[in-house]
Structure 1
């Protein structure tokens, strides 16, 4: 009895040398790293006026008196803007959705590991060394720096996912209407809509909904404060999106030349076709 013939497997793509695959790995790496770093440094709130050596504005917005204060996570906002647009353009809604959910899972994993690290008893020499460096309670410093509140984590993750899904939806709808023309409109327009959602959702969940439903050490923020802080942060993101528009064109041109015009056009067409399915 003769052995059944085994057909040759179909050619496999080498992700190391295949340029579209290498591009996806590069964009995905920056995308995930950006989100993780933003979560970690986001606990620091900085005053923009003091940072720039300016006098405090002390503006009155929705009845709230305050200065221009932001989470340090906004430092990574330009990278968010560029990465999301590039993933949308070349890999479509599926690429962004896969990375968004993967990133959310990795953020949860990171905070689980951080929580486990907080529970570890500090070594005596580490405490002593920290005291010599001017940190009287190293364990408390570690907790304050990395131990974000549950509501902040939930609010941040919720806002991240909702904003990303909103961004890709608006981006593809604009592209369907304009085709390959008006790159600035689909890139900036989708960003302005998604970040309007992001700016309000994170504050609402973290500082309004969470404390009201489950209580906690902090009192729920009044609507006036949520509106004031969210508006200031959105104006900042709006401004950055406009300023970064030329960079988007430069990045697209760089990628088109890296992939080759034929491959780049095919990837964009495939991304658009997948959106129609």
Structure 2
């Protein structure tokens, strides 16, 4: 006696695919999206060297937590964009493709830091300009390591969380995948980066550290929520125009 397999249908009456759908990471729109991701990563890791504060004329505390002034780094408006693009890569092209871009981004970031250090060591004909160059682009080993470690942990958590949720939900509940992956990625990224880089950007008290960590996480998550409509449109655009977008076996997603 043969077993009868029940096939679920979606709202339109079509059979629900057994596995989540992804596009091939070759040709199409994959390259420009990957380039945009890497560009934002590199620029943000230059801007992060500057610590910034908002509402410096006010001081509000809740126990050990400093509410005001808000302490952030100069890349506060760029890191959320990197996660938005990372979500688009993971949702449309899958974990394997996103992991490859994470490796490429790591290599580009490491090359950028090495090149800056080489140029700083070269003899200059203007001591003032040379010192200014070193002050802006001379990432300390502490800050460079913080950026690389936070980037690795955050992007991997972001991508794998999104793909795992997508395996369960298929094409439904995109908002849950985007927000869930962002929370996972931002928790890992913010905690790792802030823990390593805090003193390098002028954060020397527990109150400022807790403020910096919480504000960084909340800010990045709020940005993700605010740009959900844009993320939806970008993802819909790519899914519609990538002819290879189709369900994939689970092993093909992660290997």
If the length of structure 1 is used for normalisation, what is the TM-score?
Answer: 0.75
Matched residue SS, 1:109: helix
**Alignment match of 1:191 (pick from 167, 178, 182):** 182
Give the direction of change, closer, same or farther, for the CA distance of 1:195–1:138 in structure 2 (3 Å limit).
same
Report what 2:61 is aligned to: 60
Give the direction of change, closer, same or farther, for the CA distance of 1:27–1:272 in structure 2 (3 Å limit).
farther
Measured after TM superposition, the shift of residue 223 of structure 1 is 4.4
Return the alpha-carbon distance in structure 1 between the equivalents of residues 157 and 240 of structure 2: 29
Contact 2:25–2:93 under 8 Å retained in 1: no
* Structure with larger RCO (C-alpha < 8 A, sep 6+): 2
**Is 1:146 aligned with 2:137?**
yes
How many residue pairs are counted as aligned between the two chains? Answer: 231
Ranges of 4+ aligned residues in structure 1 off by more than 6 Å: 217-220
Q: Which has the larger radius of gyration?
A: 1
Return the alpha-carbon distance in structure 2 between the equivalents of residues 142 and 271 of structure 1: 50
Measured after TM superposition, the shift of residue 275 of structure 1 is 3.2
Measured after TM superposition, the shift of residue 221 of structure 1 is 4.4
**Alignment match of 2:110 (pick from 108, 111, 126):** 108
Measured after TM superposition, the shift of residue 224 of structure 1 is 4.2
Q: Deviations over 1:163-194 (max 9, x none)?
A: 11111121112112211101111011100111
Matched residue SS, 1:202: helix
**Is 1:232 aligned with 2:238?**
no
Q: Equivalent residues in 2 for 1:194-209 (5 A)?
A: 194-207=185-198
Contact 1:93–1:275 under 8 Å retained in 2: yes
Contact 2:41–2:79 under 8 Å retained in 1: no
Larger helix share, 1 or 2: 1
Give the direction of change, closer, same or farther, for the CA distance of 1:190–1:253 in structure 2 (3 Å limit).
same
Matched residue SS, 1:74: coil
Matched residue SS, 2:143: helix
Measured after TM superposition, the shift of residue 59 of structure 1 is 2.5
Measured after TM superposition, the shift of residue 35 of structure 1 is 0.6
Report what 2:124 is aligned to: 122
Matched residue SS, 1:43: coil
Return the alpha-carbon distance in structure 1 between the equivalents of residues 244 and 81 of structure 2: 21
Q: Deviations over 1:24-46 (max 9, x none)?
A: 11011011111110111111223
Contact 2:71–2:211 under 8 Å retained in 1: no
Measured after TM superposition, the shift of residue 77 of structure 1 is 2.9
If the length of structure 2 is used for normalisation, what is the TM-score?
Answer: 0.81
Runs of 5+ in structure 1 lacking a partner?
1-17, 50-54, 128-136, 209-216
